[in-house]
Amino acid sequence: MGTTSHTPRNEKTNIHFLKPKQIEQMRDAAHEGRHGQRDDAIVTLLYDTGLRRKELSQVNRDMLDLDDEQLRLPGHIQKDYPNENSPSPVTIEIDQEGDLRTARTLRSYLSTRDDDSPALFPSRKSDRLTGKGINDIVKRLADRAEVRPHTFTGRGESNDVTAHTLRHSVAYRMLHIYDGYTLYNVRNRLRHSRLATTEQKYDHFDSV
């Protein structure tokens, strides 16, 4: 007899997320470091698109179309579904609401590049930043900005913030800050394989 997978209640209520003002604090904190333009671009793109850190590490410059403000994400760099199917290529609209300044931030960052690496975020030690490297940047900026993430049971600490916290923050932003979005829209943005996955994680984010 099969069982239905549910996200445990304590796991759901302890999902960490940041509010828009806190993201802005992290973006400001980025410019206090040596790689301000790059780190600002990393936080902004994660918070805008909901990309996973490993996915972002695999993004190349030519996947970005800043004229049309789109990111074209091939299937092979996306996280596989928990079944035999692989994700299809997807076009992600950048800065849907026009308030995150994503394209401008990316243009500013790319204007500082004088290398020929195809990676959107290369590393001095290798071809590109790893997922761990991206996560380390997010954690460093959260600590520098002293942002404490929100949960539905209280507040976390700065060291609780990870790249995945920004993914959770996309769901919060869409359901609480903007009008007209539903869990279905969140599912599409985060590219969950099933709407049920989105509901299990974020149904308590929705207003009643």
| One pLDDT digit (tens) per residue for the chain, 208 residues | 343 445 555 567 679 999 999 999 999 999 999 999 999 999 999 999 999 999 999 999 999 999 999 999 999 999 988 777 788 999 999 999 999 999 999 999 999 999 999 999 999 888 999 999 999 999 999 999 999 999 988 999 999 999 999 999 999 999 999 999 999 999 999 999 999 999 999 998 887 6
The CA distance from 192 to 123, in Å, is 29
Q: CA triplet 129, 60, 21: central angle to 5 degrees?
A: 65
What pLDDT is attached to residue 152? 86
Region class of 119: left (phi > 0), else alpha (psi between -120 and 50), else beta: beta
Domain locations in the chain as residue ranges: 13-205
What pLDDT is attached to residue 124? 86
Element (H, E) at 45: helix 36-49
Task: Tell the burial category of 160 from Cβ atoms under 10 Å away from its Cβ (0-12, 13-18, 19+).
Answer: middle
Check whether domain 13-205 has CATH 1.10.443.10, yes or no: yes
CB 142 within 8 A of CB 164: no
List strand residue ranges (DSSP E) for the chain, in order: 64-65, 70-73, 90-93, 150-151, 154-155
pTM equals 0.92
